[in-house]
Amino acid sequence: MKKIVLLAAVLFIGFGVRAQKFSGGVSVGYGFGIPSSNLGTESYVDLSGNGSYQKPIYGTLGNGLNFTWNPGYMINKHLGVELGVNYFLGSKIVISETSSSVNATDKTTARSNQLQLIPSLVISTGGDKLYAYAKAGLAIPVFGNTKGLREISVPSPLGSIATEIETTTKGNVSLGFKGSVGIGYNISELIGLQLEVFHTSLTIKPKSRMIDSYTVAGQDVSSMLTVYDKETTYKNELNSTSNNSSTNPDYSTGVAKEELATKTNFSQFGVSLGVKFNF
């Protein structure tokens, strides 16, 4: 009896593997920051009081290049699964900018790099040559950070004094959604091309931020900063025991500053072109 069950299992596995069509693909694409949200504020200060203004800066940190490897297999002609491994190389985005009538400026930019896992369900029309397909899955950032650069320029009798502050922000584990539709063309049984339109919906809550460098007029002054000045941890709530001067008069400069966490938008809408290999 045991031999029969074992033989049946071997035959079942064998036929199951034969029914599956393994594949692997590589693609490159560009994502545009859509839909946008409020990233920060652009403002202008006129010391005469006549031309000052403030307006929101809309966008996402999802603008940038995507390099993707897509191993997967088709369970049958129309249904399959895929595990995408995507590296996102973000573009530099302005998230805050202030200028004035005396040529003082204060601008902050940010860019993100991420390694994402994208497990997806694949539905295909099938076809020996031309076919259409759709994918739906999760977008899971597993590694990466956001680099920030704040540039301040203040006029003086001897010329402008420049201050630059570089930061690294790390995020908490997050889950997003990625969906796409595309068309494919099999050049041969082993290789084909795919053109795809995709959308990723992803927001990430920050975990911590660190000042990497702080220079004034070209001089590094980061050694003069306290731990409270250099490090920030993000919390869901601030109260009288939080290490923040606005809520706790007994805060410590020897411990990282605590701030409220607000989610950052990394959503994107884009297009990619890839090569698919069938095995």
Q: Which of 14-18, 63-67, 132-136, 163-167 has the lowest mean pLDDT?
A: 14-18
Q: Which has the higher per-residue pLDDT, 11 or 212? A: 212
What average pLDDT does range 18-32 have in this prediction?
85
- Check whether 113 has a pLDDT greater than 90: yes
- Check whether 130 has a pLDDT greater than 90: yes
Q: Which has the higher per-residue pLDDT, 251 or 47? A: 251
Condensed to tens digits (0 to 9), the pLDDT of residues 180-221 reads: 999 999 999 899 999 999 999 999 999 999 999 999 999 999
- Check whether 2 has a pLDDT greater than 80: no
Q: What CATH architecture does domain 21-205+263-278 belong to?
A: Beta Barrel (2.40)
Q: What pLDDT does residue 11 have?
A: 35
Q: What pLDDT does residue 104 have?
A: 93
Q: For residues 79 and 111, what is the distance between their CA atoms, to the nearest angstrom? A: 37
Q: What pLDDT does residue 268 have?
A: 96
* Residue 158 backbone phi and psi in degrees, to 5: -100, 5
- Check whether 15 has a pLDDT greater than 60: no
* Residue 127's pLDDT band (cuts 50, 70, 90): confident
- Check whether 13 has a pLDDT greater than 50: no
H-run or E-run covering 121: strand 105-124
Domain ranges of the chain: 21-205+263-278
Closest CA to 164 of 215, 128, 118: 215
Helix (H, G, I), strand (E, B) or coil at 242: coil
Q: Which has the higher per-residue pLDDT, 17 or 148? A: 148
Q: For residues 195 and 184, what is the distance between their CA atoms, to the nearest angstrom? A: 6
Among residues of the chain, what percentage have pLDDT more than 90? Answer: 83
* Residue 205 backbone phi and psi in degrees, to 5: -90, 130
* Residue 21's pLDDT band (cuts 50, 70, 90): confident
Residue 73, strand partner residues: 22, 81
Give me 97's structure tokens.
Answer: 């900018």
Q: What pLDDT does residue 273 have?
A: 98
- Check whether 65 has a pLDDT greater than 80: yes
Give me 129's structure tokens.
Answer: 């040559």
Q: What pLDDT does residue 53 have?
A: 93
Among residues of the chain, what percentage have pLDDT more than 70? Answer: 93
